Structure formats: C-alpha cells, structure tokens
Amino acid sequence: MHEMSLAEGVLRILEEQAAAQNFVRVKTVWLEIGELSHVDPDAIRFCFDAVVKDTLADGAALDIVRVPGQAWCHDCARGVAVSTLTEPCPHCGGHKLLVTGGEEMRVSELEVE
C-alpha cells in the first residue's frame, strides 16, 4: 500500500528529528497533505498507527491538515485554486495551468517531550 511507505517515511523523519533535537517521545504530529497529492488521510492515519507501534511515537496523535491545490494560470497570469490536476482554470476555463502547491505531504510541526 502506497500510504504504508509514506507512513514509514514520516517515522524516519521523526527518528531523525529525535536524534538531532534530543527528544525521546513524540506526542502529536501535524501532517500537511495536499489535496492534489493522492494521499488518503484515513489510510495514512491507519498506517501511521501501525508503523509507530513500539517506537518513539507509539500512541502519538496524528493531526492532518489539508492543503488546497494551487496552480498558476498562464492566460490569466494569476494564481488560482484547483482541487484536481485535470480541471481547467476556474476563471478563464483554460488548461495552461502549472501546479504550484498542494501536491506534497510534509510534517509541519511536532509536539515532543
């Protein structure tokens, strides 16, 4: 499952941060998931709970923040909001869109002790 390897990637980030910043427990993880990223928040939550068992983040809360899709329209010369990669510009109906945000998934904040 795609989300399982993503959850393992999150755990690796937590372990790297723990080594760099000398904390031993992670209590809350804020995870930003772009609307264009094809990551299912329910699946990632399920996988995260499984992956962190018996690690520094065992029982940690996962707070998922959805990040809206953003694109640049060449015809309008402005940034627009999009919810899928295939939809046209909401202003001019054109397809000359360059996605500029909402495709990524990242750990934005940690609560640790």
Minimum CB separation from Zn ion for residue 82, in Å? 11
DSSP code string of 49-99: HHHTTTSTTTT-EEEEEEE-EEEEETTTTEEEEESSSSPPPTTT----EEE
- Interaction of residue 110 with Zn ion, rule CB under 5 A: no
User: Per CB under 5 A, which of residues 65..104 are in contact with Zn ion?
Assistant: 73, 75-76, 89, 91-92, 94
Contacts to Zn ion by CB under 5 A: 73, 75-76, 89, 91-92, 94
